[in-house]
Chain A
Amino acid sequence: MALTIEEVEHVARLARLNLPAEEKNMYAQQLSSILDFFTILNRLPTDGVEPLAHVLPLFNVMRADETGPSLPRDEAMANAPLAEDGQFKVPKIV
């Protein structure tokens, strides 16, 4: 199953990846071979098998509604490339 260059570009854009032309070709091949592997899995009979969202037999893991300490602000913002008035500063959005 061959992935087109356009599809690779679309997926790269969704992940905010800027790929040079030669890498686009490389990923098209690699991703295609991953999808080929799924076509093998697709041959298995799965009629009557419920889709599985989680592999562990765990349900209803919940905590009580109680508050705890948050991070000090300088620690929370330590990695911010730009900040202003205690807030993260980001480029224009739209």
Chain B
Amino acid sequence: MTDKYEAVIGLEVHVELKTKSKAFCHCATSFGAEPNTHVCPICLGMPGVLPVLNRQMVEYALMTALALNCRIADYCKFDRKNYFYPDLPKNYQISQYDLPIARSGSLVIETKNGQRAIGINRVHMEEDAGKLVHKGNIITTPYSLVDLNRAGTPLLEIVSEPDLRSPGEARVYMEQLRLILLYLGVSDCKMEEGSLRCDANISVRPQGQQQLGTKTEIKNLNSFRSLERALDYEITRQIEALAQGERIIQETRTWDEDRQVTMSMRSKEEAHDYRYFPDPDLPPLRIDRDWVERVRRSLPELPEQARRRLSEEYNLSRYDALLLTASKDILDFFDDCVARYPKPKVVANWITGDLARLLNQSKLEIGDCRVTPALLVGLLKLLDEGTISGKIAKAVLEEMFTTGEAPDKIVKDRRLIQISDESAVKAIVDEVIAGNPKVVEDFRNGKDKALGFLVGQVMKASKGKANPELVNRLLREELSRR
């Protein structure tokens, strides 16, 4: 039944900007402080105060908008969005309505059918609301507590076009957006702390139908996983309802993480009458070309630019490039290694292979692990010089990963130096040949695989230290001689 329908998804992403102070007052934005200790008359919504715009908020907004290929407005203003909710002390939120700072951008994502540009409808600046603490969830709680530390924190709302077609695509879009924001350094993007949040608009329609179905909006999506699961759930719910001849009601729903279901919060028609009007306290912004160009020149390398650089300059595959740009720290690690040791493909293989495996196993990020670019490069040089074999190098990397010791010290202390002395290797080769007459016979009868077995036996006998090339050569020589 599901494949008779198509899902249409758009995301509204809210991201807290990494400014030191709030959007319109001097209160600090730091996370995790005692409740209601970072508040002042301005962010508490007391009468008679005058909010003044934080310049850094505008700079971060411009950087983000440019990174998302948006058109920057030459004139924009702030508006008051009026509604009553306990986390909003002024009973209005300072936001941007009809003249946002930027419009019409795009973000390219990788889908299973190749790359696709997802439209960005708009980017606008606003202030965050406070935090509500419920006993249990919002529907069953007897009362709620309000902490206004977060009220007034600078926020960007990034609204996509309804271009996403599956929960998986929504997740990839969100991940790419997060990566861009992290490369820009405008937010720490911690979903678990709420500095990156997302609401999803979703509807379904029969395959091939142009007209959009009635949408619902899902809130409380605090992780990539809940985004994907809530969308999965909601798509199934809507399709089942339509199949039974029911009508979808346009409404806001909340994702219940414990029960893994979406629940109706309120009917949208009644609650949303925001009566926007220009905020008289905040003069408008004029953003001239010079300002935009200055910000454009200051932009750091973005993930997609880095991927292209890795492909073009180092001839790395798209796959490698994607893995190496998965975080700014991985990319910096890679670049640092390549600056010390100009064999990019070798470096890439070690980072995306053995090092990534160790990081995964111990659930560490590359920045937290004890292997530094200098240590990894030291290891690769030992390998190049023939001091250790590839197999030993893997073991040394594991040792480096746990102890953070230098590779040459590990090799010396644990006596791992490769045996390249011909007579020493030959002694082992002779022993192995003598001990495996049946396999030697097989080899002579044309079974090439038998050689591999013998090589393995020699390596095992030498505890992995014999030089593999030498082992191969000596074995062949000995076998052809006898």
| CB-nearest residue of chain B to A65 | B56
Q: Which B residues from 393 to 440 make CB contacts under 8 A with A?
A: none
Interface contact A62-B54, CB-CB below 8 Å: yes
User: Residue A43 at the B interface, CB < 8 A?
Assistant: no
Complex formed: what's the CA distance from A62 to B286 in Å? 12
- List of B residues within 8 angstroms of A94 by Cβ: 138-139, 265-266
Give A70 to B148 CA distance when docked, in angstroms.
12
B285 within 8 A of A: yes
Q: Can you name the residue of chain A whose Cβ is closest to the Cβ of B86?
A: A90
Contact of B55 among A64, A76, A87 (CB under 8 A): A64
A14 & B275 in contact (Cβ 8 Å cutoff): yes
Helix, strand, loop or mixed for chain A's interface?
loop
B52 adjacent to chain A (CB < 8 Å): yes
When the two chains form the complex, which single residue of B39, B52, B144 contacts A76, counting CB atoms closer than 8 Å? B39
Q: Which segment, of B20-28, B363-371, B469-477, faces chain A?
A: B20-28
A93 vs B265: C-alpha distance when bound (angstroms): 10
Residues in B neighbouring A58, C-beta threshold 8 A: 283
Residue on B with the closest CB to A84? B145
B143→A59 contact, CB < 8 A: no
Q: Are B36 and A76 in contact (CB under 8 A)?
A: yes
How many residues of B sit at the interface, in one of the four size bands? 35 or more
Docked-complex contact A59 and B35, CB < 8 angstroms = no
Please state if A59 and B286 are interface contacts (CB–CB under 8 Å): yes
Q: B175-208: which have CB < 8 Å to A?
A: none
| Chain B, range 196-233, C-beta contacts under 8 Å to A | none
Beyond A54-B278, A66-B21, A87-B147, whether A71 also contacts B40 by CB under 8 A is yes
Which of these, A60, A61, A86, A90, contacts B144 with CB under 8 Å? A90
Indicate whether B41 reaches chain A with its CB closer than 8 angstroms: yes
Chain B residues with Cβ below 8 Å from A62 are 52-55, 58
B120-160 vs A, Cβ < 8 Å mask (1 yes, 0 no): 00000000000011000011011111111000000000000
Shortest CB–CB separation between residue B36 and chain A, in angstroms?
Answer: 5
Q: How far is the CB of A14 from chain B (nearest CB, A)?
A: 6
Kindly count the residue-residue contacts between A and B in the assembled complex, taking CB atoms under 8 Å apart. Answer: 119
Q: With the chains together, A93 CA to B219 CA distance in Å?
A: 15
Size of interface on A: residues with Cβ below 8 Å to B: 34
Contact between chains at B55 and A89 (CB < 8 Å):
no
Residues of B near A65 (CB, < 8 A) are 19-21, 54-57
- Report the Cα distance A85→B145, complex, angstroms: 9
In whole angstroms, what is the CA distance A90 to B57 when docked?
31
Say yes or no: is B90 at the interface (Cβ < 8 Å to chain A).
no
Report how far A77 CA is from B44 CA in the complex, Å: 10
CA distance in complex: A73, B272 (Å): 33
Q: Which of A9-67 contact B (CB under 8 A)?
A: 10, 14, 16, 53-54, 56, 58-67
Question: Do residues A59 and B283 form an inter-chain contact, with CB atoms below 8 A?
Answer: yes
Give chain B nearest CB distance to A72 CB in angstroms.
8
A17 to chain B, nearest CB (A): 12
Is there contact, CB below 8 Å, between B145 and A67? no
Q: Among A14, A86, A90, point to the contact of B35 (Cβ < 8 A).
A: A86
Complex partner residue of B143 from A61, A63, A73, A92, CB under 8 angstroms: A92
| Contact between chains at A93 and B26 (CB < 8 Å) | no
Residues of A within 8 A of B286 (CB): 59-60
Q: A65-B21, A91-B143, A93-B86 are in contact. Are A86 and B58 (CB under 8 A)?
A: no
Cβ-defined partner of B20 (8 Å) among A67, A70, A77: A67
User: Which residue of chain A is the closest to B142 with respect to CB atoms?
Assistant: A92
In the complex, what residue of chain A is closest to B43 when comparing beta carbons?
A70
Least Cβ–Cβ distance between A84 and chain B, in angstroms = 6
Complex CA–CA separation, A5 to B273 (angstroms): 18
Select A88's contact among B57, B77, B138, B145, beta carbons within 8 Å: B145
Are A87 and B145 in contact (CB-based, < 8 A)? yes
Q: Is the CB of B21 within 8 A of A76?
A: no
Q: Which A residue sits closest to B277, measured CB to CB?
A: A53
Q: B342 an interface residue at 8 Å Cβ cutoff?
A: no
Residue of A nearest to B133 (CB): A87
**Are A86 and B34 touching (Cβ within 8 A)?**
yes
Alpha-carbon distance between A84 and B86 when the two chains are bound, in angstroms: 15
Whether B41 pairs with A67 at a CB distance below 8 angstroms is no
- CB-defined A-B contacts under 8 Å, sample of 28: A10-B273, A53-B284, A54-B77, A62-B54, A63-B52, A64-B55, A65-B19, A65-B57, A67-B21, A69-B26, A70-B27, A70-B28, A70-B39, A71-B39, A71-B41, A73-B36, A73-B37, A76-B36, A76-B40, A84-B145, A85-B35, A86-B34, A89-B143, A89-B144, A90-B143, A92-B143, A94-B139, A94-B265
The 8 closest A-B pairs by CB, nearest first: A68-B26, A65-B56, A87-B145, A53-B278, A88-B146, A62-B55, A58-B283, A90-B86
Measured CB to CB, the residues of A under 8 A from B are 10, 14, 16, 53-54, 56, 58-71, 73, 76-77, 84-94
Query: Given known contacts A53-B284, A71-B40, A89-B144, what 7 new A-B pairs fall within 8 Å (CB)?
Result: A54-B283, A59-B286, A61-B283, A85-B145, A88-B148, A91-B144, A92-B142
